[in-house]
Chains A and B, each alone.
Chain A
Amino acid sequence: MLVLMLVGGLIGMVLQFIITMILMPFFGAFEVMIPLSLIGMPAGMMGAMCQPVFGVTYFDVLIIGELYGLLIAYLVYRSNLSLTGTPS
């Protein structure tokens, strides 16, 4: 399982890097980099772990990943609001 987690985390990091490069010109470097860095690796690790342990389907893993991503994006948004007083 440890190997799966590492592989999942690594895939998450690679995807994070590619998506960052694609989205950066539209939304700004840090606005993309910060949420994605908190989503990519952990979501990859969790996904890779959940699949064999809980026997969930790939579709479920995808949905969990998406919900986790949305939650992180919302928390970063709230955090920015409290640090700057303006919406991100």
Chain B
Amino acid sequence: MSVKEKYNRIARFYEYLKTGDSRRWKQAQSDFFKTLKGNVLYVGMGPGPELENFPPGLNITAIDLSFNMLEKGKSRAEAYSGNLNRLVMDVQNLGFQAKQFDSIVAVCVFCTVVNPVAGFKELRRVLKPGGQLFLFEHVLSKNPLYGIPLRMMSLLTTRLSGTHLDRNTVANVEKAGWKVLEDNNIYLDIVKAIRCEANVPSD
């Protein structure tokens, strides 16, 4: 089953499982997303629980691979005090022209993208010069006490939801030509707020 099919199924109960995270991460996300500006690409919006932590007045294009997940975000999208358009789209193959967005944001998405480096390269292509990428993601811990259970649980979560708990997202983003400006731990060294800018001009 593809990631898209998995998320189309999970959409029904996803928000219930996510309520704890949304509550726990509210303050950290509000602080982190404070500097989002202009035209924003919001990758893997799903039901959009983090939308309430975005500053008001942005011009947001939200994409997601799964239609059902995106549909769950309808009321949040309508309640947002700015512009928000939702599109079904794969981050690994974006249907946008180059250099369109001032900021790009993704929350818990690159654990599920099949080829994260390809996705990050696409994001670099559509970001305007001087723009920034804001990632709020969970990654593999460097501490083996946490890393080994994460690797074990990843065997299960990958099958159930396509979620990899053992990704090195900081290394992946750098591989795709981004420069990490900020890498803050939110919970242990597993949940992270990572801010990046394009390292070398995208082709």
Find out whether the CB atom of B17 lies under 8 angstroms from the CB atom of A34. Answer: no
- Does B20 sit within 8 A of A, measured CB to CB? yes
Give CA–CA (A47, B193) in the complex, Å. Answer: 39
Give CA–CA (A33, B116) in the complex, Å. Answer: 24
Task: Find residues 10-54 in chain B having any chain A CB closer than 8 Å to their own CB.
Answer: 16-21, 23-25
Number of residues of chain A lying within 8 A (CB) of chain B: 20
Give CA–CA (A79, B25) in the complex, Å. Answer: 18
- For residue A76, which residues in chain B have a CB less than 8 angstroms away from its CB? 188
Give CA–CA (A2, B187) in the complex, Å. Answer: 36
Q: Name the residue of chain A whose CB is nearest to the CB of B163.
A: A29
Decide yes or no: A83 and B149 within 8 Å by CB, A25-B17, A31-B20 being known contacts. no
Task: Find residues 41-88 in chain A having any chain B CB closer than 8 Å to their own CB.
Answer: 76, 79-80, 83-84, 88
Give CA–CA (A38, B150) in the complex, Å. Answer: 11
Find out whether the CB atom of A31 lies under 8 angstroms from the CB atom of B187. Answer: yes
User: For the complex, would chain A's binding face be called helix, strand, loop or mixed by DSSP majority?
Assistant: helix
- Of the candidates B18, B150, B188, B191, the one whose C-beta lies within 8 Å of that of A79 is B188
Decide yes or no: A34 and B21 within 8 Å by CB, A80-B188, A84-B185 being known contacts. no
Q: Name the residue of chain A whose CB is nearest to the CB of B191.
A: A30
Give CA–CA (A79, B150) in the complex, Å. Answer: 16
Find out whether the CB atom of A30 lies under 8 angstroms from the CB atom of B138. Answer: yes
- For residue B150, which residues in chain A have a CB less than 8 angstroms away from its CB? 34
Closest 9 CB pairs of A and B: A37-B149, A28-B24, A28-B20, A25-B19, A84-B185, A28-B21, A83-B185, A25-B20, A27-B20
Give CA–CA (A6, B20) in the complex, Å. Answer: 32
Give CA–CA (A32, B23) in the complex, Å. Answer: 14
Decide yes or no: A33 and B187 within 8 Å by CB, A24-B20, A25-B17, A25-B19 being known contacts. no
